[in-house]
Every structure is written in structure tokens, then in C-alpha cells.
Structure 1
Amino acid sequence: MEIRTLRALVEVVRQGGFSRAARTVFATQSTVSKAVKQLEDELGLRLLERIGHRSRLTEAGEIVYRRALTILAQADDLKIELEELRNLAGGTLRLGFPLIGSNTLFARWFAAYRSRYPDVDIKLVENGSKRLEELVLAGELDLAASLLPISEEFEWQEVRREPIDLLLAADHPLAECDTLAFEELADMPFILYGPEFALNPIILEACRASGFTPSVATQSSQIDFIIELVAAKLGVALLPRLIAEQRPHPLTKRVAVGHPAIYWHMALVWRRGGYLSHAAQAWLALAGSPEVYGG
């Protein structure tokens, strides 16, 4: 079993077909197809079902794909560790940041790191927590910011824990309340986040615990747009307090919500048992420094 055949399988799955995978690995479609066929012959099992121009994993393929991700990530770790052993100049830090809150949580951190380690090449990916976790497990990111709770596949370091507040139209009958219980929101249409956001499961679980499934007016990955939709009385939204405080709107009102109280609990995560580069360790070591938090 060779790394190249495993990588071919992984890219076919990621890219949704052989032609796109070929472009990703800088090979011909025939080369990628032969690599996957070689892997299937070696294992004696069919790994992919060809459906038109697309390919789908078989049950055996699912198992091999998951294992391949781990093997490829470990191979990448080995290369990074050996490069650092050779004292290559600078090194690279591969970071994943969330789509919301990064300006507050990581802008000063980023600047402090750049000041201390100017020769480190920082590669930044911005996406929802779910996708960032996938990239960490695949070995494509060293560290990523994600919301707790997280899978046991990760180790983590806490960054910040913020209450999640309700945002509703300023003239809503409940806008003058100091606090609201989740059960009081049962008849309100909700404006949720895009599917890549880890906030959605937290909100939906609090609704279920309060005995209802919310009606969803719409979903968006843009915080400012969500706030404008609340102001336009399309529904209510739930935002981390620090995000809501940064974006006051004259036509909305922020109210604390509890019973159950829910939190935006952000952490930096990395693959459990994976190699953590010196560049990544230096990033984690900056936590709590005056440069980052202005102390």
C-alpha cells in the first residue's frame, strides 16, 4: 500500500470525481484512475462505485478513506518534523479561524505572533467550525478555533467562554424583559446560521431540551445580514454576547436567555496524538500574554 494510491483515493472523494482529483494532484485522470484501481486490487475490495461522472464510496471504501486520512496526516507530520529538525528557516503555521468572532479573539494574537516570529509563514483558512475540524483531522491545519464540546479526536486549549443572547426587534413585546427562558421562544421564527456553523446544534439542542423544535425563517452565514433580518422583524436570532455588543442596531434589542443557558465556548483544537509543530506550540504559548489581551 503506497501513499500515492491512498492520496489518489482521498482526492477523488474530496473533489467528487477523477478529473478534478487529477488537477489537484497534478496528474492525468488516467494516472489517478490507475492508482485507485491498484489500491482496490491490492486490498481485493471495490472502494468506489462509479455513478455517471461522479464516484461514491462503498462500505469498504468508507473504512479505507477514514484510515487513509489518518495515514496521510501522519505522513505530513513526519515531513514537518524532519523539516524542523533540519532547521529550515521560519517554518509554517497553518491556522483555521471561525467566520465570526475572529476580529475580537485573534487579531491581537495574530499581530503579537507576527511581531515575535516574523519569519514564520502563516497560512490562514476561514470557515465554519465543522469544516475546520475536518481540515485538522486531515492534517491540513495545525490548529483551528472551534466550539466546545468537541470530539475526543482532538486536544484543545480554551480561548473564551461567552453567554449567547437573544436578539429581537426593538418593538417586540418581549424586548423589555431582562431575561427570557428558552421555552418562551417556542412560537418565534428563528434565524439560524449556515450549516457549517457549530452554533446551530447548540441552539437546536437548547430548544429540544425546552420541549420544542423551532420554526426556521431562514439561515445565513453573514452576521450583519442576520441582524438586519431581525431588525426587519423576520425572526429572532441568538448571538454570542461579544458579537452582539460589537454590532448595536437601533431597531433591535439584546436580551439574556437562560433555562437552559447556552454558551459560545471557543477553543483552539489540534489532532489528538498528532505532531504539533514548534510554530503551533509558539502560537498556543501566547495565550494570556499582555500582547494578546492588552494586560
Structure 2
Amino acid sequence: MEIRNLRAFVEVVRQGGFSRAAETVFATQSTVSKAVKQLETELGTPLLDRSGHRSTLTTAGEVVYRRAIRLLGERDSMLAELEDLRGLRRGTLRLGLPPVGSSTLFAPLFAAYRQRHPRVDIKLTEHGSDRLEEILRAGEIDLAASLLPVSEDFEWQGVRREPLVAILAEKHPLAGRDRLNLSDLRGEPLLLFETGFAINRIVLEACRREGFDPAVAARSSQIDFLVELAGAGLGIAFLPRLIAGRHGEAAVRRIVLDEPSTEWAIAIIWRRGAYLSHAARAWLALVREAAPQPA
């Protein structure tokens, strides 16, 4: 069973089609299609149902996809460990960071890391926390920043805890409050991040605990845009307190959300039991120095 065929199959599933998968693995669409077909022939069963407009996983395909992600991750860990054993000094730090909070929390660490390890290449991947966890499971990155709690598949090093802040227009009827509960926001339209941002999950799960599903007025991956929408009265946005005062010039009120289990707790995570390269361990050491308090 060839690794390149497994990689092609995984990317077809992840990217939602052969053409986008081909771009990801830097191959032609026909090459990717041939690789998947070879894998199906070798395993003696179809992995994709191609009858519709979009290929979907068969039952066998679901099993192979799940196992392939782990196999590819283990292969990458093996290569990283062998690289360290050979004494290669350069190395590569493959790090995933979410857009929310990264500039404030991690930008200063990059300068310190570069000064200590000038020959290490840093490959940065940016997505929401949920997407980063998927990429981390596949072994495409070594470390990621994500919100706690995380799956037992991961180990973690705490970075920071902050309460969430509700951001609303200055003229909003609730703008005079010192603190807000989610029950106060029943019936209010919310402004959320795009799918894949863990902060959405925190807010939505808290709303459901209060017994309601909120209306979502808009979604965006841009913090400043969400703050501006809140200032224009289109709805209520949510940010960690640390981040809330650093974005946007809109006329808004920032009110601490006094709600259990809505704390923004960010950590650096890695696959449980996975080998961490010297470059990755050096980043973790720097994080521990900058944020010695446990999260």
C-alpha cells in the first residue's frame, strides 16, 4: 500500500473533490484519480461513491479514511524523529494558530523564538481551532493553539484564560449593564465567527444550556468586521476580554459575560503520545516561560 495513494485519498475527502485535492498535493487531477483507483483495487472495495455530483465516502471508505489519517500522522512523526537522530540542526516548526488572539498572545513569541533558533524554519497554518485539531490529527502540523477542553487524543500546555465579553452597540437597551448572562440575550441576534471557530461552540452550547437556540445575524472570520457590525446594531458579538479592547473603532460597549463554562481558555496542543521534534519542544519551552501559570 503506497503512502502517496493514501495521501491522495485523504485529500480528496478533506478537500471535497479531486480537483482541489490535486492542487493540495501538487499533482494533476488524473494522477489523483488514478491513485485513488489503485487504492480501491488493492483493497478490493470501492471507497468513494461517485454516483452524485460530489463523491461521498462508502462504509469501507470511512474506515480507510479514519485509519489513513492516523497512518499518515505516524509516518510524519517517524520522519521527524529520524531527522533529530541524524542531528540535523535546521529543523522545521509546523505550527497552527487561530486568528482570534494570535497576534496578541503569540506574535511576541515568534521574535524570541527566531532569536534563539535562527536556523529553524517556521511553517504557520491559520484556521479556526476545530479545523486545526483535524489537521493536527492528520500529522500535518506538530502543534496547534486551541480552546480547552480538547479531545483526549491531545495533550496540552495552558497559555491563558480570559472571560468572554459581549460586544454591543452603545445605544442597545442592555448597554448599561456591568455584566450579562446569556439568558439576558434570549431573542437577540448574535454575530458569530465562521464555521470551525471553537468560540462559536462555547457560545452556542451555553445558549442551549439556557434552553434556547439563538438567531445568527451574520458570520465572519474578521474580528474588526464583527465589532463594526455590533456597533451598527446588527447583533451581539463575543470576544475574549484580552482581545476585545484591541479591535475596531466602532461605538460599542464591551460587557463581561457572567456565565459558567464560557471562559476562553487557550492552550498549545499536540497528539497524545506523538514524537515532538526539537523545534516543537523548543516552542513549548518558550510558551511555558511566557505563560508559567497552568490553564
Partner of 1:108: 108
- Aligned pair in 2 of structure 1 residues 180, 28: CA closer, same or farther (>3 Å)? closer
Match of 1:264 in 2: 264
C-alpha contact 2:129 2:146 (8 A) present in aligned 1? yes
Superposed CA RMSD: 2.2
- The DSSP-based 3-state class of the residue aligned with 1:283 is helix
Kept in 2: contact 1:286–1:292 (CA 8 A):
no
The CA deviation string for residues 110-135 of structure 1, in whole angstroms up to 9 with x for no partner, is 11111100010001111111111111
2:3 corresponds to which residue? 3
Matched, 1:17 2:36: no
Q: 1:74 aligns to what?
A: 74
Whole-Å separation in 2 of the counterparts to 1:36 and 1:72:
16
Which segment drifts farther, 115-124 or 178-187? 178-187
Query: 2:221 matched to which residue of 1?
Result: 221
What does residue 38 of structure 1 align with? 38
Q: TM-score, normalised by structure 2?
A: 0.92
**TM-score if structure 1 supplies the norm length?**
0.92
Counting aligned pairs with the same residue, the percent is 62
Give the CA deviation at 1:254.
Answer: 1.1
Question: Measured at CA, do residues 78 and 229 of structure 1 come closer, stay the same or move farther in structure 2, by a change above 3 Å?
Answer: same
CA contact (8 A) 1:96 1:125 kept: yes
Change (3 A) 1:258 1:117: same
Aligned-residue offset at 1:88: 2.0
Give yes or no for contact 1:109–1:292 (8 Å, CA) kept in 2.
Answer: no
TM-aligned CA deviation for residue 290 of structure 1:
5.8
Shift of 1:260: 3.1
Q: Distance in 2 between matches of 1:66 and 1:133?
A: 14
Report the Cα distance in structure 2 between the residues aligned to 1:232 and 1:20, rounded to whole angstroms: 37
- In structure 2, what is the equivalent of residue 211 of structure 1? 211
Does residue 1:177 correspond to 2:141, yes or no?
no
Give secondary structure in 1 for the equivalent of 2:12. helix
Aligned to 1:165: 165
How many residues are aligned here?
Answer: 293
Runs of 5+ unmatched residues, structure 1:
none
Distance in 2, Cα, partners of 1:290 & 1:30: 49
Secondary structure at the counterpart of residue 287 of structure 1: helix
Give the Cα separation in 2 of the matches to 1:181 and 1:26: 49
Name the SS of the counterpart of 1:246 in structure 2. coil
For residue 235 of structure 2, give the secondary structure of its aligned residue in structure 1: coil
Distance 1:133 1:235, change over 3 A: same
Name the CA shift for 1:95/1:15 in 2 (closer, same or farther; >3 Å).
Answer: same
Residue type at the aligned position of 1:268 = I
Matched, 1:92 2:86: no
Measure, in 2, the Cα distance between the counterparts of 1:26 and 1:236: 42
Question: Does the C-alpha gap of structure 1 residues 45 and 257 become closer, same or farther in structure 2, counting only changes over 3 Å?
Answer: same
Moved over 6 A (4+): none
Displacement of 1:292 after TM fit?
A: 10
